[in-house]
Chains A and B, each alone.
Chain A
Amino acid sequence: MCRWSEVAQNPVIHVNSASRWFGDVQALDNLTIEVPQGAISVLLGPNGAGKTTAIRMITGALTPDSGTSRVFGLDPGGSDGEEVRRRCGVVSAKPSLYDRLSGWDNLRYAAELYGLGRKVDDRIREASTMFGIEESLDHQVGGYSTGMKTRLALARAVLHGPDLLLLDEPTSGLDPESALAVLDLIRQMTGDGQTVLMCTHLLLEAEGLADEIIILQHGANLVSGRPDELARTYWPAPIVRIASSDEAGLDALGNAPGVTSYEQTDGVAVATLDRADRTPELVGLLSQRGVPISSVVPFTPSLEDLYFAVRRDSGSTGDEIDPPEDSSGRPVRDSLPAAA
């Protein structure tokens, strides 16, 4: 995990008020983002939020219609494009591999375009070993499984030792084990000082991986920052969930000292407290009144909670991403404590 104070001062990517239209469709709407060096930043958003367009603009593959984009302090859409692209490694949503070529030839193509010179063979071996595909390099990529193709695409992206890795849905199509392995590898890479910007609409995937999140919607940056700091913004006070079969008895919490807000749905009370250490007092209060307690869970907002709170705040229906469901099949976001 990065040391935030060190990395935050030094943005590798600085996109300022960038807009981009495709015909009548606005893909980016005054997008402003900063990505600090040596951190994993995750672009979150539903399909069509502008994540892929943002990645394409960062490498200079697309230029903004208005606004600016700077990567390593250089202009990727202008004369610095080659320099920027040489320092970036990209894994796109589809692996973008040449099916008729072998894995080795795919890697060699990239190695030559990225100017690896005499180190080509050694680097291909290293990268393919890192992603566990060294045994398959002689085979045509057309015969690879989805997981192997993703691994090959990742190996190709890191082949030239890029300073910035841009990963667009890198685990799409992977089974859970392969996806975990890929996420582990991504984590390892930032340990070597590389900066990672990853797009995903899988919130669980970003959880625990992201040093910083950037939530996009309709091409604009809704909110960005460290997940824990953002969570404190949305839920500044401690929250506890207490479940009981005695719904009427639970309502005693509404008037308990230290409870600043209270609501109950189907035997689950959600109480906002003035201090975290109030919880034992509340449990004691219910016990005194003979209210059976089946669970007491301090609420720690997950990335999912945060994501849906942000999007609810922005007025979005959130229909573009399927929210997780609880055991009763009810969308979890409907039973979340309201954000402050």
Chain B
Amino acid sequence: MRNLHWGHVMTVARTDLKQLIQARDFWVPMMILGGLFFVIVPTLLLATITRIGDVELMTQISETLEVLPADTQAQLQGESPEGRAGYAMAVFLFAPVAVIVPLTISTAVGAATIVGEREKGTGEFLAHSPAGVREIYLGKLIASLVPGYFTTAVGFALYSVIVNLLVGPKVGGWFFPTAQWWVMILWVLPPFLAICLSLVLRLSARVKSTAAAQQASGLISLPLIIVAYSQATGVLLGADWVPLVLGGVAWLVGFFSLASGVRSVTRSRLLGVAGGI
């Protein structure tokens, strides 16, 4: 097997990203999705909790917080009920958001990427090009991963500003991101994205149309989103070692899943003449 040509990988990735930037019909809905989950919903909820001061609502939220594990309750900052409620919301409730957004965006990009080349006829160009199929696969993977992760990074930064501005004054200053959030964003989320994309790219290489790829990838990514959702919550609510172990296992699974997924891209599939597609 010949050595991997990273120049080809980055060229494929860069060109795919350039096309995504040109596709306003794709990125506008995705920006709305990110804005909804990272900015609008948190702002409305946190503003409601910290500004309105509804005694009955605060009492209900405080009662809800009591079901959290004792370790987690001990982490809650703030003296006032709205401060503690706001902190809990900001740190624990929205954690899964960081999983849903990148998985949704990357799945949407990944599902269309290989079958899209075939549908548009550009797979013929790639099939005749000197780029190896491993390079094409990795380029497509990066191009699918970047939009989801980039949106998450930007959304995460905005979210940090919002929660610190809204909840910070109630809990004694800027407190976000917490250590668990850094671990989740940098250690736990990427391998989950990789696992999801390795499955979605396999699908994209095999199905007959982009529409079929989108539907099938929804079936794959939805359970994965649920798993990631619950695990992300566990990362934030569990012991310190949980996220590290969880992330480690996910990286391992992700690595093997990606490695075996390379075989799904073949030149005959790019041309659309492979059996079964």
| In the complex, chain B residues 1-24 whose Cβ is within 8 Å of any chain A Cβ | 2, 7-8, 11-12, 15, 18-19, 22-23
* B residues less than 8 Å from A90 (CB atoms): 124-125, 128
Chain B, interface SS category: helix
User: Which residue from B2, B18, B23 sits with its C-beta under 8 Å from A105?
Assistant: B18
A105 to B18, CA, bound (A): 9
Report if B271 contacts A (CB, 8 A): yes
Instruction: Kindly identify which residue among B12, B15, B18, B132 contacts A82, using a CB–CB cutoff of 8 Å.
Output: B132
Cβ-defined contact, A96 with B19, below 8 A? no
Q: B128 touching A88 by the CB < 8 A rule?
A: yes
> A201 at the A/B interface (Cβ < 8 Å)?
no
By a CB distance below 8 angstroms, the chain A residues around B69 are none
Any chain A CB within 8 A of the CB of B131? yes
Given contacts A61-B267, A61-B271, A82-B130, contact A112 B11 (CB under 8 A): yes
Residue in A95, A100, A115 whose CB lies within 8 Å of B19 = A100
Tell me the complex Cα distance, A186–B270, Å: 27
Given contacts A60-B267, A112-B7, A113-B8, is CB(A92)–CB(B124) below 8 Å? yes
Chain A residues 154-194 with CB under 8 Å of chain B are 156, 166
The residue that A92 contacts in the complex, of B18, B19, B125, with Cβ under 8 A, is B125
Of B7, B19, B268, B273, chain A has the most CB atoms within 10 Å of the CB of: B273
Contact, CB under 8 Å: B128 / A59: yes
Is B33's CB within 8 Å of the partner chain A? Answer: no
Q: Could you tell me the distance in whole angstroms from the C-beta of A113 to the nearest C-beta in chain B?
A: 5
Taking a contact as CB atoms closer than 8 A, the residue among A61, A86, A110, A166 that contacts B127 in the complex is A61
Q: Closest approach, in angstroms, between the C-beta of B126 and any C-beta of chain A?
A: 8
* A90-B125 Cα distance, complex, nearest whole Å: 8
CB-contacts of A28-51 with B (<8 A): none
Does A92 lie within 8 Å of B130, measured CB to CB? no
Supposing A22-B273, A105-B18, A115-B7 touch, asked if A96 and B130 sit within 8 A by C-beta, the answer is no
Tell me the minimal C-beta distance from B123 to chain A in angstroms.
Answer: 8
Within 8 A of B (CB), among A73-117: 79, 82, 85-86, 88, 90, 92, 94-101, 105, 109-110, 112-115
- Considering the chains assembled together, what is the distance between the CA atoms of A94 and B121 in angstroms? 7
CA distance A59 to B267 in the complex (A): 11
Tell whether, in the assembled complex, residue B22 and residue A101 are in contact, meaning their CB atoms are under 8 Å apart: yes
Q: Within the assembled complex, what's the spacing in Å between the Cα atoms of A59 and B11?
A: 21
- Are A101 and B19 CB-contacts (below 8 A) given A109-B11, A110-B125? yes
Q: Decide: A62 near B273, CB < 8 A? Known: A56-B127, A109-B15.
A: yes
Contact-residue size bin, chain A (C-beta under 8 Å from the other chain):
20 to 34
Taking CB atoms, residues of chain A closer than 8 Å to B215 are: none
A211: min CB distance to chain B, Å:
23
Given contacts A92-B121, A97-B122, A113-B8, contact A61 B128 (CB under 8 A): yes
Query: B122 touching A114 by the CB < 8 A rule?
Result: no
B contacts with A, residue count (CB < 8 A): 28
| Residue in chain B with minimal CB distance to A53 | B273
B19 and A113 within 8 A (CB): no
Q: Which residues of A contact B270 (CB under 8 A)?
A: 61
Q: Which of A22, A56, A82, A99 contacts B120 (CB 8 A)?
A: A99
Report the bound CA distance from A94 to B270 in whole Å: 14
Residues of B within 8 A of A105 (CB): 15, 18
Given contacts A82-B2, A94-B124, contact A56 B271 (CB under 8 A): yes
Contacts of A56 in B (CB 8 A): 127-128, 271, 273
Q: Which residues in chain A, 120-167, are within 8 Å of chain B measured between CB atoms?
A: 140, 156, 166
Does A290 make an interface contact (CB < 8 A)?
no
The answer to whether A96 and B271 touch across the interface, beta carbons within 8 angstroms, is no
Which of the residues B12, B130, B275 comes within 8 Å of A86, measured between beta carbons? B130
Q: Which of B221-277 contact A (CB under 8 A)?
A: 267-268, 270-271, 273, 275
| Min distance, Cβ B233 to any Cβ of chain A, angstroms | 39
A219 CB, min distance to chain B CBs, angstroms? 14
A280 at the interface (CB under 8 A from B): no
Closest to B1 in A: A79
CB pair B129–A96 under 8 Å, yes or no, is no
Q: Once bound together, how far apart are the Cα atoms of A88 and B127, in whole Å?
A: 12
The answer to whether B130 touches A115, judged by C-beta atoms less than 8 angstroms apart, is yes
Q: A101-B19, A115-B7 in contact; A96/B122 too (CB < 8 A)? A: yes
Q: Which residues of B contact A101 (CB under 8 A)?
A: 15, 18-19, 22
Query: B130: which A residues are within 8 A, CB to CB?
Result: 82, 85-86, 113-115
Instruction: Give the shortest distance, in Å, between A76 (CB) and chain B (any CB).
Output: 10
- List B contacts of A315 (CB < 8 A): none
The 8 A CB mask of B90-120 against A (1 = contact, 0 = none) is: 0000000000000000000000000000001
CA distance A95 to B122 in the complex (A): 8
Bound Cα distance A95, B19 (Å): 17
| B7 surroundings in chain A (CB, below 8 A) | 112, 115
CA distance A96 to B125 in the complex (A): 6
Minimal beta-carbon separation of B124 from chain A (angstroms): 4
> With A and B bound together, what is the CA distance between A176 and B121 in angstroms?
25
* Chain B residue at minimal CB-CB distance from A62: B268
3 A-B pairs with the lowest CB-CB distances in the bound complex, closest first: A96-B125, A61-B127, A100-B22
Supplied contacts A62-B268, A62-B271, A92-B125, 9 more A-B pairs, CB within 8 Å: A61-B267, A79-B2, A92-B124, A100-B22, A100-B23, A110-B129, A112-B7, A114-B129, A115-B7
Return 22 A-B CB contacts under 8 Å, by A number: A56-B127, A56-B273, A59-B127, A61-B267, A61-B270, A82-B132, A85-B128, A88-B128, A90-B124, A90-B125, A90-B128, A94-B124, A95-B121, A98-B15, A98-B120, A98-B122, A100-B22, A112-B7, A113-B11, A113-B131, A114-B129, A114-B130
